[in-house]
Amino acid sequence: MYDVSRSTALLRRMRQCDALVGARPGLFFTGYERLNGNPVFVEKAQGPHLWDVDGNRYLDFLLGFGSVVLGHAHPAVNRAVEEALRSGVNPTLLSLTHLELAERLVELIPSAEQVTFLKTGSDAVGAAVRLSRAVTGREIVLHWGGHGWHDWCASGAQGIPKATTEMTVALRYNDIDHARELFARHKDKIACVVMMPYEIQAPEPGYLQAMQQLARQHGALFVLDEVRSGFRIALGGAQDYFGLDPDLTAFGKALANGHALSVLAGRRQYMSQILKLGLTVTYYRSPDAMAAALATLDILQAEEGPARLAHLGTRLMNGLGAAIRSSGVQATMVGFPATPFIHFDYTHPNENAAAMRQFCNGMLRRGVLMTPAHHWFVCTAMSDEDIDFAIEAAAEAFADIRSTMAQC
């Protein structure tokens, strides 16, 4: 009998004292969960699994919003961090770990002549935008994708001056004509194009290259937001995978297997002007997260992490695809293998939302944690058997959806 009563009781207490948890209707994303009946409090996380405080085990496809690329509590990463902790977490001066990580990233990332460290993905993309504005003397930013919560990009947020919001203009993905129109409209006021290289949909052949060229042609910087794609689709990021040559790039998430660390990387001609940003660095030099990053990169490299993620994700997508076909539910597997997702294809949006909720709730009860609101992630700690476990759970969840839909 699936029971999350302890989690639910703790959540009631948490909602009184934590404003963000208290204000959200669901745990992570609006519409994700109803209050009762879902795991909320974690007891421990190990490898590809989480255990909630009620003792239920889940195969985890959320993975710290994609940051835990090797699986939770990876022993080699833990050892590296423990060693760094013994030498002090914020010693103010530069550390050897910092130097080694900077050199490693310059070697690994095709467009990185220099790097600088920050803490979050929002920090790194925000710094790229400010640097683009500082070096071009222009203010408008064309962007595609989600880049975090900072003022320049937080969509739908309140409390941001209108003048700031008006400086950021959204591109339509895979639509080069739209980008041309925006360049024509804003002429020489565009500081940079900031893009995730992909999310669910793959780029049309030549699209990302054309965006890069268009930005350059108009004297704007081409900035890749590789916070999600970095160290996941390829060790050198999507720029390596798609053959791009960005001026600046932001990385985060998979870099340090869940430890807080992000990187702004780019051409020396721009990175050398970084003092213009007024970056302050109380925590940016903490060697513990940098040690985690070095260990993570070692393992990703030694174990061919991106290829392993692609293998696991492909197995999941193929298995779920087959289960969709044999169950007769209307759904399609979408996304890249390392970041797979499902779309339900019923005619009414409400039916799709209901099917998605039923699917994710059905998976939870069978020990698989997947969100309906965001693509999922796989980690290298998953085995083929883990993926097959998820596929079997999905086959049962699809059968339930099929019978619910048949009754509608």
Ligand X SMILES: Cc1ncc(COP(=O)(O)O)c(C=O)c1O
What does 137-166 look like in DSSP terms, one character per residue?
A: ---EEEEES---SSTTT-TT-SSS-HHHHT
What is the Cα–Cα distance from 214 to 168, expressed in whole angstroms?
17
257 is a contact residue toward ligand X (CB under 6 A):
no
125 is a contact residue toward ligand X (CB under 6 A):
yes
Binding-site member from 39, 47, 48, 148 for ligand X (CB under 6 A): 148
Least separation in angstroms between residue 162's CB and ligand X is: 23
Residue closer to ligand X, measured from CB, 53 or 227 = 227
Least separation in angstroms between residue 252's CB and ligand X is: 5
Residue closer to ligand X, measured from CB, 125 or 140 = 125
Least separation in angstroms between residue 62's CB and ligand X is: 12
Least separation in angstroms between residue 64's CB and ligand X is: 10
371 is a contact residue toward ligand X (CB under 6 A):
no
User: Which range binds ligand X by CB under 6 A, 46-54, 139-147, 330-338, 393-401?
Assistant: 139-147
Q: Which of residues 262-291 bind ligand X (CB under 6 A)?
A: none
Residue closer to ligand X, measured from CB, 120 or 361 = 120
Q: Which residue is nearest to ligand X (CB)?
A: 121
Count of residues near ligand X by CB under 6 A:
14
In contact, 171 and 204? CB cutoff 8 Å: no
The count of other CB atoms within 10 Å of the CB of residue 272 is 12
Least separation in angstroms between residue 233's CB and ligand X is: 12
What is the Cα–Cα distance from 176 to 182, expressed in whole angstroms?
10
Binding-site member from 39, 47, 48, 145 for ligand X (CB under 6 A): 145
Residue closer to ligand X, measured from CB, 2 or 28 = 28
120 is a contact residue toward ligand X (CB under 6 A):
yes
How far lies 157's CA from each of 15, 166, 214, 373, in Å?
21, 13, 30, 18
Binding-site member from 41, 65, 241, 283 for ligand X (CB under 6 A): 65
User: In which residue are the tokens 């079997």 written?
Assistant: 392
Over 4-67, what HEC string results?
CHHHHHHHHHHHHHCHHHHHCCCCCCCCCCCCCCCCCCEEEEEECEEEECCCCEEEECCHHHHC
User: Which range binds ligand X by CB under 6 A, 167-175, 222-230, 306-314, 337-345?
Assistant: 222-230
Binding-site member from 135, 171, 227, 401 for ligand X (CB under 6 A): 227
237 is a contact residue toward ligand X (CB under 6 A):
no
User: Which range binds ligand X by CB under 6 A, 53-61, 120-128, 207-215, 337-345?
Assistant: 120-128
Query: Residues 187-191: contacts with CB within 8 Å, 24+ apart?
Result: 187/218, 188/138, 188/218, 188/219, 189/138, 189/139, 189/140, 190/138, 190/140, 190/141, 190/142, 190/215, 190/218, 190/220, 191/129, 191/132, 191/133, 191/136, 191/138, 191/139, 191/140, 191/141, 191/220, 191/221
Sketch the per residue contact string, 69 through 108, with ligand X: x for CB under 6 A, - otherwise: ----------------------------------------
What is the Cα–Cα distance from 324 to 125, expressed in whole angstroms?
38
228 is a contact residue toward ligand X (CB under 6 A):
yes
E runs forming strands in 119-238: 140-144, 168-170, 190-195, 221-226
252 is a contact residue toward ligand X (CB under 6 A):
yes
Residue closer to ligand X, measured from CB, 33 or 199 = 199
Q: Which of residues 159-218 bind ligand X (CB under 6 A)?
A: 196
In contact, 128 and 250? CB cutoff 8 Å: yes
Q: How far apart are the first and last CA of the chain?
A: 27
146 is a contact residue toward ligand X (CB under 6 A):
yes
What is the Cα–Cα distance from 154 to 58, expressed in whole angstroms?
32
Binding-site member from 54, 225, 240, 386 for ligand X (CB under 6 A): 225
Using CB under 6 A as the criterion, which residues of the chain lie in contact with ligand X when the complex forms?
Answer: 65, 120-122, 125, 145-148, 196, 225, 227-228, 252
